[in-house]
A and B are shown apart, each in its own frame.
With several copies, the nearest count.
Chain A
Amino acid sequence: MGRLTEQTHLTPTLSSREERVARADAPGEVGDAPFMTDTRHMIAETAERLFADHLDQTTREAAEEGTWPAALWDAVAANGLDRVLVPEETGGFGGDWADAFVILRAAGKHAAPVPLAETIGASWLLTQAGAKLPEGPLSLADDAARVPWALHGVCVVASHKTRFVVCRPSTEEVPPGHNIGRDPREAIRRDFEPADTHAGDVAAIGALVRSCQMAGAVTQVLDLCVTYAGERVQFGRPIGKFQAIQQQLAILAGQAAAADMAAQTACRALDRTGDARFEIASAKIRTGEAAGQACAIAHQVFGAIGFTEEHHLHHLTRRLWSWRAEFGTESVWAQRLGRMVVEQGADALWPGLTGLNASP
């Protein structure tokens, strides 16, 4: 077993995982075990607890000022969350994207200021390409002008035309930069000596991990809003009793459900077939749209309180705005997906959606 088990005293059995993989691979077998297996529940709880334990206001503020949250990352690494997709033979947990999803969703819910999504995505690309996996946190970038945590000396997996390269940018010449989420995004020089390039779609994997994070953050925004609407009194009653607020939160609940489903669907598709181009594009579009609506509704519900530094809401909404745009906005992915749909043809639309491509 990977480190996750050793460190947290969870006891998922390897045999159950193997069984499940075997079933999914069986020819003609479309069904799958329930998404939330016991193992996956335990992974989710571990991640939840870890972020809850290590993230307080002070840590967040320090991270947003540029301090590396060492204790948090060390706990992540000690529990092997960053290596969830790395095979056991090479020291990882040997999980799949459905496992990665519950970790990334938890990271999103907690707006965790560490490159966990980047590390998970990069480690998968490296593993798929059969490349050596560097130690420590990794970055993942499809744009040399905004590389996550480049200043912190992490190793970068960056897109290079349709392939990718691995590099470790010198931190000395990198000007600091950050996104709206106040997570570091720095420009790196492109004149590094690339090692060999590898096959792998950085933009797609980046879009996938961001979709998973957004699913978590949107769900958490809903949670904050519903709780607040039940507590905050205006005009003599909780604001959640006003029909206008109720209608807004009903919309938000739908967005949260859609974001969660879209991201999970993409993870499952990638696990199952290795080709999730349609599902990843759909996930980035749908979670991004949900993110936009969630931020707008939440700030409307919270009013001035939600606009203060003191309230937790903005840790989520600022990151949602950033994640929406990173690794391709909804427009970018919608054009890509729309082109694929149109190219496969109108009469293939339904067969493609249902996964049955020809009448028998």
Chain B
Amino acid sequence: MPSLTFEPCDLPPEAEALRGEARAFLDAELKGFPVAARARSWVGFDAGFSRKLGAQGWLGMTWPEPWGRNASALERYVVIEELLAAGAPVAAHWIAERQSGPLLLRFGTDEQRERILPGIAAGETYFCIGMSEPDSGSDLASIRSKAVRAEVNGEPGWVVNGRKVWTTYAQHSHWMIALLRTGEAGENRHGGTSQFLIDLSSPGVEVRPIRNMIGDEEFNEVTFDEVFVPDAMRIGAEGEGWQQVTAELAFERSGPDRFLSAFALLVELVRFVGTLPPEAVAGAHDAVGRLYAHLSTLRALSISVATQLDAGADPALEAAVVKDMGVAFEQSIPEIAQQILGVAPRVAGGSDFEAALAYVQQACVSFSLRGGTTEIMRGVIARGLGLR
């Protein structure tokens, strides 16, 4: 039977050495940052904060010189988990630094890297991802937005038409990495797509924020109407889009954002339990104990996957396992908090804890949407077990 590989691992000393520094920086920067804002964590958009992180050298730190400083993925892991545990507003640079930069390093041209990576590392250039379309959520093989070869003013390139949805913070982003149809799908349904860097200030691009149920404008619909994209902005080989995207999705799955999204709420929950009278506290202790056991185990699993990634292995199956359990853990927190709190969370007019709870209760339904739904993750795991 194919088996899961999860060796217990320690973060190496050079990574741990960054922890104190990161924590001190965050203590200072986030002084007085309210709990409800911390609960937003990687949905919190703050360009100024991202630029400060860039100035610290904490964006793109794993990239090779001259773009980064060749730090190990585990050093970055420590910085990321400190950011998330503090509930820092990391959304502005999040996708650019985590997915787009690495993608360009892997598949991009020197010209693309030179033009874009310095801005990402400085916390100034932001990205969104154009994968999903109105009629293709998880089913990327069915995308219809098209890029057709064309030459405009003597420059070889592509004309793009179509529509992308669920693009996080497209309205604040400079670039989209879009998966577009450039040919027929072929037999395995996965051919005929390519990835492009699209400058969102190009003529013909329209970005429409879609309010989510919490009232935030995080997702967007982006429409392309005869948008010209120079051929120099194609990423990787024509027709290889699906393969590139699949590799990209795997980056997303096992990071600390898979179990620390609601950490600020957890801290407030522990604080609240500390105020309960003795006769009411047994059940609350029980709940806190279970949450702690889950969290500490998830973190150990996540570090194990990060260590494998850092060593050049491909723990796609293990990453899917961490994501699946991480989402289940995060989604259980508001449920548990509410039963312990014993009263209704409030969006307005209540305590910090209540506000944070109200936010997470609603936001957590989206946790399982990012990076593959629960059904899809479990399908990936089943395939890894040899069942599919």
Contacts and interface: CB of A to CB of B under 8 A. Distances in A.
> Do A and B interact directly, with beta carbons closer than 8 Å?
yes
Contact of B378 (A250, A330, A360): A250
A196 B268 CA distance: 40
Given A177-B349, A330-B290, A349-B267, A30 B10 contact: yes
Interface stretch (B112-120, B237-245, B281-289): B281-289
A261 interface: yes
A356 B11 CA distance: 12
A30 B289 contact: no
B52 interface: no
A304 B369 CA distance: 7
Interface stretch (B65-73, B90-98, B194-202, B318-326): B318-326
Chain B interface mostly? helix
Given A31-B12, A177-B349, A335-B286, A257 B213 contact: no
B302 to A, nearest CB: 10
Interface string A176-196: 111110100111000000000
Interface string B4-36: 101111111100100111011001000000000
A85 to B, nearest CB: 19
Interface stretch (B174-182, B223-231, B340-348): B340-348
A281 B347 CA distance: 27
A336 B344 contact: no
B56 interface: no
Given A250-B385, A349-B266, A349-B270, A29 B300 contact: no
Interface string A328-360: 111111111111011001110110011010011
Interface stretch (B99-107, B145-153, B331-339): B331-339
Q: Which residue of B7, B21, B137 has the most chain A CB atoms within 10 A of its CB atom?
A: B137
A253 B4 contact: yes
- Interface range, B side: 35 or more
Contact of B6 (A223, A257, A317): A257
Contacts of B378: 244, 246-247, 250-251
Given A178-B348, A258-B325, A349-B266, A334 B388 contact: no
Interface in B127-156: 132, 135-139, 141-142
Nearest to B296: A282
Given A278-B296, A336-B289, A341-B270, A180 B362 contact: yes
Interface string A136-160: 0000000101100000000000000
A285 B85 CA distance: 23
A296 interface: yes
A247 B213 contact: no
Contacts of A281: 289, 293
A302 B284 CA distance: 32
Given A36-B7, A322-B344, A31 B382 contact: no
Contacts of B298: 258
Nearest to A343: B274
Contacts of A325: 338, 341, 343-345
A304 B16 contact: no
A303 B19 contact: no
A234 to B, nearest CB: 5
B345 A179 contact: yes
B106 to A, nearest CB: 27
Nearest to A180: B358
B215 interface: yes
B24 A261 contact: no
A338 B292 contact: yes
B311 to A, nearest CB: 11
A82 interface: no
A321 B288 contact: no
A143 B344 CA distance: 10
A264 B292 contact: no
Contact of A337 (B271, B289, B299, B369): B289
A235 B388 contact: no
A309 B382 contact: no
A261 B304 contact: yes
A176 B8 contact: no
Interface of B: 1, 3-4, 6-13, 16, 19-21, 23-24, 27, 81, 85, 132, 135-139, 141-142, 165-166, 210-213, 215, 219, 263, 266-268, 270-271, 273-274, 281-290, 292-301, 304, 318, 321, 324-325, 331, 335, 338-350, 358, 361-362, 365-366, 368-369, 373-375, 377-379, 381-382, 384-388
Interface of A: 28-32, 34-36, 143, 145-146, 175-180, 182, 185-187, 223, 226-227, 229-230, 233-236, 240-247, 249-251, 253-254, 256-258, 260-262, 264-265, 268, 278-279, 281-283, 285-286, 289, 292, 295-296, 299-300, 303-311, 313-314, 317-318, 321-322, 324-326, 328-339, 341-342, 345-347, 349-350, 353-354, 356, 359-360
5 contacts: A223-B3, A300-B374, A307-B366, A325-B341, A329-B339
Given A243-B379, A257-B6, A360-B24, 16 more contacts: A30-B11, A30-B13, A35-B8, A177-B347, A180-B346, A186-B349, A235-B141, A236-B139, A244-B378, A279-B296, A304-B132, A318-B213, A331-B340, A331-B342, A337-B288, A354-B19
